[in-house]
Structure 1
């Protein structure tokens, strides 16, 4: 199933991460000082206030803003690519630049023939060595499932 990164639904992303992490609704309600209904409403929201996204990022120890950064990197017009961000944020949860969703998105384009390796490298400014590491590490895993 192909992800459409042009259509970000932050509430669904947060709900999925909550389920993966197994965090109880009581803990979430206490953290946000909100009712269960208000938390459920957040899950239904396509976009959320940045302060709320920051709180979710802290609670789940996941940088949800990275989803938007990756969107900018992948879908900015050619020649206007955003340079890699410098280490400035104290809120750095992940070591690598690319999320698993981005890796899956790129590998799916390669596997379906939508893009060639060279097109991915040039259009998305992904280093050749990085792309080949993804192919050897993750594409092998997908074939065995």
Structure 2
């Protein structure tokens, strides 16, 4: 099983959608520094991942499911 880095996947999706760190910070009621910390994380709290998935309309949980295949 290869190691997945969820923070980098979130960053890639943000870049793909043209969303900024400021946008995500505002939507999550976080400061920008905390969004950059999310990008550095290899794992993430599921509640936060769900919020980000909803905001970006992208199922990040499927990334984990695909790791099982």
In which range does the TM-score fall when normalised by the shorter chain? over 0.9
Aligned residues: 69
Q: Which runs of 5+ in 1 are unaligned?
A: 75-145
Q: Which runs of 5+ in 2 are unaligned?
A: none
Q: Taking structure 2 as the reference length, what is the TM-score of the superposition? A: 0.93
Kindly indicate whether residue 5 of structure 2 is the aligned counterpart of residue 9 of structure 1: yes
Larger RCO: 1 or 2 (CA < 8 Å, sep 6+): 2
Comparing both structures, which one devotes a greater share of its residues to helix?
2
Q: Where does structure 1 differ by over 4 angstroms across 4 or more consecutive aligned residues?
A: none
Kindly indicate whether residue 42 of structure 2 is the aligned counterpart of residue 46 of structure 1: yes
Deviation at 1:21, TM superposition (A): 0.4
Q: Distance in 1 between matches of 2:29 and 2:66?
A: 31
RMSD (Å) for aligned C-alpha atoms? 1.1
Q: Taking structure 1 as the reference length, what is the TM-score of the superposition? A: 0.46
Deviation at 1:26, TM superposition (A): 2.2
